[in-house]
Amino acid sequence: MGSQGGFYQSKEFLDLVKSIGEARSKAEEDRIVLNEIETLKRRISEPDIPKRKMKEYIIRLVYVEMLGHDASFGYIHAVKMTHDDSLLVKRTGYLAVTLFLNEDHDLIILIVNTIQKDLKSDNFLVVCAALNAVSKLINEETIPAVLPQVVELLAHPKEAVRKKAIMALHRFYQKSPSSVSHLVSNFRKRLCDNDPGVMGATLCPLFDLITRDVNSYKDLVISFVSILKQVVERRVPKAYDYHQMPAPFIQIKLLKILALLGSGDKQSSAKMYTVVGDIFRKCDSSSNIGNAILYECICCVSSIYPNPKLLESAADVISRFLKSDSHNLKYMGVDALGRLIKISPEIAEQHQLAVIDCLEDPDDTLKRKTFELLYKMTKSTNVEVIVDRMIDYMISINDNHYKTEIASRCVELAEQFAPSNRWFIQTMNKVFEHAGDLVNIKVAHNLMRLIAEGFGEDDDTADSQLRSSAVESYLCILGEPKLPSVFLQVICWVLGEYGTTDGKFSASYIIGKLCDVAEAYSNDETVKAYAVTALMKIHTFEIAAGRKVDMLPECQSLMEELLASHSTDLQQRAYELQAVIGLDAHAVACIMPSDASCEDIEVDKGLSFLNGYIQESIEKGAQPYIPESERSGMLNISNFRSQDHHEASSHGLRFEAYELPKPIVQSKIPPASLASTELVPVPEKMYPRESYQTTVPSVSSDAGPSELKLRLDGVQMKWGRPTFSPATSTSNSTISQKTVNGITQVDGASTANSRTRETYDSRKPQVEISPEKKKLAASLFGGSSKTEKRAATGHKISKSSSHMVEKSHVPKSSMEVASEKTPPVQQPLDLLDLGEPTVTSTVPSVDPFKQLEGLVDTTQVASAVNHGLTAAAKSPDIMALYSETPADGDLLSGVLNPSMTNMPGGTTTRQSMPRSKGPNPKDSLEKDALVRQMGVTPASQNPNLFKDLLG
Amino acid sequence: MIHFVLLISRQGKVRLTKWYSPYSQKERTKVIRELSGVILTRGPKLCNFVEWRGFKVVYKRYASLYFCMCIDQDDNELEILEIIHHYVEILDRYFGSVCELDLIFNFHKAYYILDELLIAGELQESSKKTVARLIAAQDSLVETAKEQASSISNIIAQATK
């Protein structure tokens, strides 16, 4: 059944594959494929194509589609194939449709009928093929059509069918939980199936069910535990062993389920402790699969109710992972550490150096995982170091997806733990500068709010310091090219509001800068709008302060441009600015009060301040205002009102039809307005519009900027946490002082806290454990004390941690001894990966084709005669060992190989493997001969194609 | 859950793709291009995992072929590595020292085997023996059908001579 039977396709297809294989460029490949598509289009629609030919066409279609081209013209033929009576053809049809169609494709409706029929077939292979298709193609609407049959199949005599039926039901559950909610008992029943494969498959839907509703399955804890116990004690059939591990995939699934069931449940957790402890003890940590189970154990232990003994075992495994040379294990170790520190934060300390190594590793994946860990262990004591690191990394990458994520994490950490507002602003500047377009706009609003509100306490000097530092930093940053829009908006707002407050910078300087911004980013209307409003503020503040301001020429030209702008918003702002400049100091101060962005604007809804004016007008003979509800003649009144709502700034054309006139009774909607009409002759709803037209400045300009500048309402208030009040910051410094007199290493903690940036930039060599690394470790982990109480004992902790650093040499060296012992055991693992250099030594370095060219004839005969014979000749020694299944020697040699590769005596396996498997060159030669027979000459430059995937 | 399985050669050629989550043809092409760019350039000593668009991609290289599987954030990477290896071992047993060329010309068989191993993005069978038995059952069917077909075509050929 091996490769010799494989090439039964036509020469055409082989040629296609070959020519694609030899294509030098993507363009050439595309050309070939497009050609093929044309051919297929023509051929496939010919009448009376023999089934066999059709099957090949469909497989060629699959191939074309796999290469990323559109084969939709042939989908219908694939669907037709599923209707065929012969399983052989049907199977190809099912394979093709499952690969072609997504569950929402229109053609699926044509298959449902066939599937229904096939599910009832006597031949279990037909049923299996149909179930495969069911789990890919059936969508929410078609579930009811097949559900009864699938449920029936749960009791099928063949375990393969039961298993697939379970998986299909699982898929249904994922698609639409309600459709199978009444069938849950079936899953429970199948858990006791006497075939381990079916039982293992049942764990998948149960895992999902338990994820959504833990409490209904607590009764199963005992069953799961006992199954796991049986598996661990090797009571499942040998066939489920994988690399000498009893049914590891089932173990992992069970551990996942137990983790869910035991989460926060002391009673259930107690039942699991023994078996999890057993796995920790029994698991072979030298194989990858063993480590996979150990990792899952750690996940389980960190999820269930904590047990000190298990936590200890978990910590041991983690330290083994972290100390391993394998990047994979380090990665898993860091991940596991992140899970465990939630329960026992102190375990991070002993791994600080390993974690820092991971952080500095060139492997991006490992680095990111480590950042995730740091994110989880951030506290107010180490936030500066961590966020600085994150930002440095953020700057260095250009994967937008991850950049967004890490930027939002930086913001989150900075908001939660910022030690000082100044630091916060600097951090935010960096985040905005480098990832501004990726962060949420809310973050910008938060930042503006912070600057405006300051500490939220009555410390005015600190607030103004904060503002002037912000202004200074922004003026500095403005020099850089290409800033993100969001950041510019913040800058403009802050400069407008506080640019001249402390008197350090002259108004004309700030105005000049703002004009530069508006000019440099002339495509960005929002930024321009912010800039103009900022200009207006600066001007009004100057006027209000009684200083004379002259329009700078650049400002003048900007205004001229904006007065004629296409954007009505910009135009309006420009006109407002023009109008405001002409007013006197008193009026201006009312319009634009200084530093009042956070004050609530009280709206006098009754507009009582106009009463005098109205009275005067009436006395002069004006008509008194008739409230809307009392009018009948004016039809479009209600329109005015609705217009007032959305037509805030522009008088543009309305394109929607006018509303139909409504009966008067309907139009008196708010009872409140009715009440007010009695007091004030002018109804409130009408007024804003009128005031607009007459441009009473107090209303329009006040509402305008406050609306566009800063939408404070609805923005979360995250500020003013007591953590970064000055009190705690002083306590921080006392801690570091205390530690200073302890050990020299610890003085890094204080410097790192205050001047972390410099320490990083100056950090260069890192042989063994460089002092910088120690510093970093101290600043990351040293302050891991969470509460104030522990902070008081910080002296002791840091001292012990420095001992740990030294101590860690001792266990490390012992670990080295251990790891020196392990290599021979790990060796066979490496062997399987042909990428490793070890394998090349077993494979002759000479090109096998050239070397064996002369031998072609003889071996060709040999392979033609009987492949099975050679296999049989190879296996007698093995047969003696395993006399269970002497019938299929061909199969047997295969069974043994993988298990042999993992025998503890790694060296012997290495030698025996090529022998038992058939020497590499010989096998390749057979294949080569065969391919040549088919008329395909493989490009000899690529002998890789013949290389065994498994060495 | 496994969202998709990709087999890519070292030159970036696609050898097999199987999608368990819905992706449009356009997205598929993009995914393959993006991932082969990331994975093929990674050094040999690095992790076999890549974080990608909020998912994780676990890959392993066998000779000149990369086997990649995309999984959820909270799945066990080491387990997925072993599922890949499990698949390769089954392929190896089926083809008898499997090489890339086997998969190129018999990609549909690789699909059939994968269908016995994974369903809807979950591992359905962890016993190599069971998978092998099922595939053998299907193949014996193919063999008999082929014999019949060839004997019939022989008869036809002779009759029309």
The predicted pLDDT at position A198 comes to: 92
Of A49-53, A228-232, B26-30, the one with minimum mean pLDDT is A49-53
Averaged pLDDT of chain A: 72
> A438: which DSSP letter?
G
Residues in A closer than 8 angstroms to B125, CB to CB, are 163, 197, 200-201
User: Higher confidence at residue A754 or residue A614?
Assistant: A614
What mean pLDDT do residues A419-428 have? 81
Closest chain A residue to B124, measured at CA: A201
- Chain B nearest-CA distance from A3, in A, is 5
Are A90 and A133 a contacting pair, CB within 8 Å?
no
Give the CA dihedral A672, A673, A675, A677, nearest 10 degrees: 170
Question: Hey, which of A122-136, A599-613, A791-805 has the most confident mean pLDDT?
Answer: A122-136
Q: A760 pLDDT exceeds 70?
A: no
Listing DSSP states for A40-108 in one string gives: HHHHHTSSS--HHHHHHHHHHHHHHHHTT---GGGHHHHHHHHT-SSHHHHHHHHHHHHHH--TT-TTH
Quote the tokens at residue A684.
């409130």
Q: Give A257's Cβ-side CA count (13 Å radius).
A: 27
Quote the tokens at residue A409.
């994490």
Q: B138 pLDDT exceeds 60?
A: yes
What mean pLDDT do residues B62-85 have? 93
Closest chain A residue to B8, measured at CA: A67
Closest chain B residue to A894, measured at CA: B93
In tens, the pLDDT along A83-108 reads 888 888 898 999 999 999 988 888 88
The predicted pLDDT at position A664 comes to: 54
Quote the tokens at residue A800.
């012990």
The predicted pLDDT at position B118 comes to: 93
Listing DSSP states for B39-100 in one string gives: HTTS-TTS-SEEEETTEEEEEEEETTEEEEEEE-TTS-HHHHHHHHHHHHHHHHHHHTS-BH
Quote the tokens at residue A349.
């300390």
What mean pLDDT do residues A491-500 have? 85
User: Higher confidence at residue A626 or residue A390?
Assistant: A390
Of A452-456, A481-485, A546-550, A742-746, the one with minimum mean pLDDT is A742-746
Q: A636 pLDDT exceeds 60?
A: no
Give the number of other CB atoms < 10 A from CB of residue A523: 8
Q: How far apart are the first and last CA of chain B?
A: 57
Residues in A closer than 8 angstroms to B150, CB to CB, are none
Closest chain A residue to B44, measured at CA: A835
Quote the tokens at residue B6.
């990709």
Closest chain A residue to B25, measured at CA: A68
Q: How confident is the model at residue B65 (pLDDT cuts 50, 70, 90)?
A: very high
User: Higher confidence at residue A549 or residue B3?
Assistant: B3
Closest chain A residue to B14, measured at CA: A67
User: Higher confidence at residue B143 or residue A385?
Assistant: A385
Nearest CA among A408, A405, A355, A406 for reference residue A377:
A355
Of A181-190, A322-331, B125-134, B149-158, the one with minimum mean pLDDT is B149-158
Helix then strand then coil, in percent of chain B rounded to 5, is: 50, 25, 25
Residues in chain A: 951
- According to DSSP, the β-strands at B118-119 and B55-62 are unpaired
Listed in sequence order, the residues at least 6 apart from A356 whose beta carbon sits closer than 8 Å to its beta carbon are A773, A776, A777, A780
| CA–CA dist A382, A783 (Å, integer) | 7
Nearest CA among B91, B52, B44, B45 for reference residue B72:
B52
Residue type, A940: S
Partner residue facing B105 (CB), from A17, A890, A950: A17
- Chain A nearest-CA distance from B146, in A, is 9
| CA–CA dist A153, A147 (Å, integer) | 10
Closest chain A residue to B67, measured at CA: A949
The predicted pLDDT at position A431 comes to: 86
Residues in A closer than 8 angstroms to B99, CB to CB, are 923-924, 927, 945-949
Please report where in the chains the tokens 């120690």 appear, as a residue: A774
Partner residue facing A328 (CB), from B24, B32, B78: B78
* Alpha-carbon distance values, A237 to A158, A634, B36, B84 (Å): 17, 89, 39, 22
The predicted pLDDT at position A892 comes to: 35
Q: A793 pLDDT exceeds 70?
A: no
The predicted pLDDT at position A941 comes to: 54
Question: Hey, which of A108-122, A548-562, A818-832 has the most confident mean pLDDT?
Answer: A108-122
Distance of CA A456 to the CA centre of its chain: 35
Q: A5 pLDDT exceeds 80?
A: no
Partner residue facing B104 (CB), from A17, A296, A924: A17
In tens, the pLDDT along A446-477 reads 788 878 776 555 567 777 777 888 888 888 88
Residues in B closer than 8 angstroms to A917, CB to CB, are 97
What mean pLDDT do residues A200-223 have? 91
Residues in A closer than 8 angstroms to B102, CB to CB, are 3, 6, 927
Q: With the C-alpha atoms ordered A175, A177, A182, A184, is the resulting torsion angle positive or negative?
A: positive
Q: Quote ipTM for the complex.
A: 0.90
In tens, the pLDDT along A264-302 reads 889 999 999 999 999 999 888 888 999 999 999 999 999
- Chain A nearest-CA distance from B142, in A, is 6
The predicted pLDDT at position A386 comes to: 87
Nearest CA among A242, A144, A153, A232 for reference residue A198:
A153
Of A152-161, A301-310, A442-451, A545-554, the one with minimum mean pLDDT is A545-554
User: Higher confidence at residue A341 or residue A728?
Assistant: A341
Q: A799 pLDDT exceeds 80?
A: no
Of A323-327, A505-509, A734-738, A917-921, the one with minimum mean pLDDT is A734-738
Are A910 and A816 a contacting pair, CB within 8 Å?
no
Q: A879 pLDDT exceeds 50?
A: no
Partner residue facing B124 (CB), from A3, A167, A918: A167
Q: How confident is the model at residue A929 (pLDDT cuts 50, 70, 90)?
A: low
| CA–CA dist A652, A344 (Å, integer) | 64
Of A49-63, A419-433, A441-455, A828-842, the one with minimum mean pLDDT is A828-842
Listed in sequence order, the residues at least 6 apart from A352 whose beta carbon sits closer than 8 Å to its beta carbon are A777, A780, A781, A801
In tens, the pLDDT along A226-235 reads 999 999 999 9
| CA–CA dist A856, A928 (Å, integer) | 9
Residues in B closer than 8 angstroms to A135, CB to CB, are 119-120
What mean pLDDT do residues A828-850 have? 40
The predicted pLDDT at position B81 comes to: 93
The predicted pLDDT at position A497 comes to: 83
Q: Which of B9, B10, B124 to mutate to test the interface with A (most CBs of A within 10 A)?
A: B124
User: Higher confidence at residue A821 or residue A604?
Assistant: A604
In tens, the pLDDT along A662-714 reads 655 544 444 444 444 444 444 444 444 444 444 444 444 444 443 444 444 44
Residues in B closer than 8 angstroms to A65, CB to CB, are 25
Answer whether B127 sits within 8 Å of A196, measured CB to CB.
yes
Nearest CA among A478, A481, A505 for reference residue A489:
A478
The predicted pLDDT at position B80 comes to: 94
Closest chain A residue to B48, measured at CA: A328
Closest chain B residue to A362, measured at CA: B46
* Alpha-carbon distance values, A732 to A410, A692, A721, A927 (Å): 21, 55, 16, 72
Listing DSSP states for A510-574 in one string gives: HHHHHHHHHHHTTT-HHHHHHHHHHHHHHHHHHHHTT---PPPHHHHHHHHHHHT-S-HHHHHHH
Q: A763 pLDDT exceeds 90?
A: no
Q: How confident is the model at residue A656 (pLDDT cuts 50, 70, 90)?
A: low
Partner residue facing A249 (CB), from B61, B105, B126: B126
Question: Interior CA angle at B141 toward B135 and B143, to 5°?
Answer: 100
Residues in B closer than 8 angstroms to A63, CB to CB, are 107
Averaged pLDDT of chain B: 88
Answer whether B13 sits within 8 Å of A247, measured CB to CB.
no
Q: How confident is the model at residue A554 (pLDDT cuts 50, 70, 90)?
A: confident
Q: How confident is the model at residue A609 (pLDDT cuts 50, 70, 90)?
A: confident
Quote the tokens at residue A411.
């913001």
Closest chain A residue to B45, measured at CA: A327
Listed in sequence order, the residues at least 6 apart from A359 whose beta carbon sits closer than 8 Å to its beta carbon are A367, A370, A371, A374, A389
Q: Please count the residue pairs, one from chain A and one from chain B, whose beta carbons lie less than 8 angstroms apart.
A: 263
The predicted pLDDT at position B56 comes to: 93
The β-bridge partners of B70 are B4, B57
Nearest CA among A709, A715, A776 for reference residue A748:
A776
The predicted pLDDT at position A227 comes to: 93
Answer whether A8 sits within 8 Å of B139, measured CB to CB.
no
Residues in A closer than 8 angstroms to B45, CB to CB, are 327
Residues in A closer than 8 angstroms to B4, CB to CB, are none
Answer whether A102 sits within 8 Å of B137, measured CB to CB.
no
The predicted pLDDT at position A712 comes to: 45
Please report where in the chains the tokens 């600057």 appear, as a residue: A451
**Three-class SS string for A8-48?**
CCCHHHHHHHHHHHHCCCHHHHHHHHHHHHHHHHHHHCCCC
In tens, the pLDDT along A354-392 reads 888 888 888 888 988 898 888 888 888 888 888 888 888
Question: A889-901 vs B77-95: helix axis angle to the nearest 10?
Answer: 150
**Phi/psi of residue A236, nearest 5 degrees:** -90, 155
Answer whether B76 sits within 8 Å of A248, measured CB to CB.
no
Q: A735 pLDDT exceeds 60?
A: no
Are A920 and B39 a contacting pair, CB within 8 Å?
no
- Chain B nearest-CA distance from A767, in A, is 20
The predicted pLDDT at position A277 comes to: 92
Are A935 and A951 a contacting pair, CB within 8 Å?
no
* DSSP reduced 3-state for A304: strand
Residues in A closer than 8 angstroms to B123, CB to CB, are 200, 204, 249
- Chain B nearest-CA distance from A24, in A, is 10
Partner residue facing B63 (CB), from A249, A292, A949: A949
Q: Which of B16, B28, B56, B125 to mutate to test the interface with A (most CBs of A within 10 A)?
A: B125
Please report where in the chains the tokens 């069974």 appear, as a residue: A895
Q: Where are the domains of chain B?
A: 2-160
Q: A335 pLDDT exceeds 80?
A: yes
CATH 3.30.390.50, domain B2-160, yes or no: no
Residues in B closer than 8 angstroms to A332, CB to CB, are 77-78
* DSSP reduced 3-state for A599: coil
User: Higher confidence at residue A712 or residue A37?
Assistant: A37
User: Higher confidence at residue A908 or residue A477?
Assistant: A477
| CA–CA dist A352, A800 (Å, integer) | 13
- Chain B nearest-CA distance from A489, in A, is 29
* DSSP reduced 3-state for B17: strand
In tens, the pLDDT along A144-162 reads 999 999 999 999 999 999 9
Residue type, B147: E
